[in-house]
Amino acid sequence: MLDLSTLVDVEPALVVANDLAHRGLVSSAGLRARYERPDGDGGMQHWPGTLATRIVLDLMDPAIESVGESRVAYLCFSQSLPRPETQVKVRDENGRVVARVDFAWPALGVFLEFDGRVKYGADGQTVWEEKRREDRIRELTGWRCIRLTWADLDDPVRTAARIRAVLAAAVERAS
């Protein structure tokens, strides 16, 4: 993973790092220790191309569960958006966890879901259940939802502007 991060751009390296961390095969602390290890060459931080490695180590998050979610996290970083919390639990009136959202800015009352379409099936039942889930989250939290798809990730500037507008509106509502 560390070697890969010196050979490819940050985004694909982050996808791999998050997948490995999510599956428990690596840890940020372990990778960082190897990266900074004071060996004969002073550790990896002196290798060519390791600025990307440092960024990947700073961004990697074992809570991120998919390629799409990793790409959303990278989009937030690369477009200078506030870093969202990942896998935020939503609780009902009794404190029971009723949902988990991919990303959230709780202080701003906004959550973001990445929709890879795989979960939606052909019969429409899953779409209906997801709509009810989103409604319940909004009912419990009062938060606004942003949904992103693969196509949104292909235009990060436009997508970031959309996210930025929702976050700005949330700030306006709060003041």
Q: Output the DSSP codes for 101-142.
A: EEEEEGGGTEEEEE--SGGGTTTSHHHHHHHHHHHHHHHHH-
Total domains, the chain: 2
Last residue of a domain, one of 37, 62, 87: 62
Same domain membership, residue 132 and residue 100: yes
Long-range Cβ contact pairs of 166-172 (< 8 A, separation 24 or more):
166/110, 167/81, 167/82, 167/105, 167/108, 167/110, 169/144, 170/105, 170/108, 170/109, 170/110, 170/144, 171/108
Q: Specify if 71 maps to a domain.
A: no
Domain that holds residue 145: 78-174
Q: Specify if 73 maps to a domain.
A: no
Inter-residue contact 4 to 17 (CB < 8 Å): no
Q: Specify if 170 maps to a domain.
A: yes
Same domain membership, residue 58 and residue 113: no
Inter-residue contact 53 to 2 (CB < 8 Å): yes
Q: What integer pLDDT is reported at residue 45 of this predicted model?
A: 72
Low-confidence ranges of the chain (pLDDT < 70): 39-42, 117-125
Output the pTM of the full model.
Answer: 0.88
For the chain, the distance separating the N- and C-terminal CA atoms, rounded to the nearest angstrom, is 44
